[in-house]
Amino acid sequence: MNRLSASKKVGRASLALGVAFASTVLCATVSTAAPARGVTGVDSVASAGDQRACPVAYFDLGETLVHTAEDGSIAYRSGAASYLRALRERHIRIGLITNVPPSWGATDAERAARLKKEVDATWKGPEPFAWQDFGDRILTPRTDAERKPAPALWQRARAESGPCRLVYQAETAEEVKVAASLGFVPYQVGQPRRPAFLPVGLVQLLG
C-alpha cells in the first residue's frame, strides 16, 4: 500500500469516527426530548428559508450565560461570549427564556428593555452583552403564573419558531426537564466532564 492510499484510508476512517461520535452524542442528548412526528410540528417539512434559519437555541440568562458576583456586578460566564459568537457566525438564531418581574412592562419588548438596563448598569467585562443577537426573541413572563418552571414561556417560544427544532440550555435541572417534556432539545450547563454548552456542531445538525 503506498503512502497516498494509506493517508486517504486514515482520512476516511477519521471522518467516519467523527460522524459516528457526533451522532452518538446528539442522540444521547435528544433521546428524551425528541417529540413524536407531527405532534409539535418541528419535524414538518419547512421551506428552504425556514430550513436555513433552523434550529433556534434558547437560553436561560442568569448563571447560564452570565454570572452575578458577590459585589453585584454581572459578567459573562466562562466561554459564553465565544459560544454566542460561534452561533452567530453560523447564522444560528438564539433567544432568551428568562424570569423577570411582570411589572417591568406590559410587553416582552418593554420587559426586555428593562432587563437590558438592569444588566448593563452593573456589567463588568471587556465586551458588552450581545443583546443584538437575540432580536425580539427575549421571552419573559406576563404574569407571575407564567414564571418558570411553568411551561408558558417554552410554549410561546415553540409557537413563535415555526417548524424549527428548538434547543434550551440552562443551569437548572428542573427547567431543562420541563423544556425536554415540551419537545426542546435540553442541555444542562455547568456539569462536570461535559462541554460548557451544547457543541455548536451538534446544534447545527439539528437543522
The answer to whether residue 99 is domain-embedded is: yes
Average pLDDT, the chain: 82
- The residue range of the domain holding 75 is 32-205
Residue 120: pLDDT over 90: yes
- Greatest distance between any 2 Cα atoms in the chain: 73
Sign of CA dihedral 111, 94, 62, 27: positive
Q: What is the pLDDT of residues 1-49, one digit of tens each?
A: 444 344 434 344 333 333 333 443 444 444 444 443 333 333 333 333 4
Instruction: Give pTM, 2 decimals.
Output: 0.77
43 lies in some domain: yes
Decide if 6 is inside a domain: no
Give the CATH number for residue 136: 3.40.50.1000
**Is 61 contained in some domain?**
yes
> For residue 7, is it within any domain?
no
Q: What is the tens place of the pLDDT at every residue in 86-102?
A: 999 999 999 999 999 99
Is 20 among the domain residues?
no
**Is residue 176 situated within a structural domain?**
yes
CB atoms within 10 A of CB 198: 24
In the prediction, which pLDDT does 177 show? 98
Q: Give me the number of domains the chain comprises.
A: 1
- The answer to whether position 21 is within a domain reads no
State how far the Cα of 174 lies from the Cα of 128, in Å rounded to an integer. Answer: 29
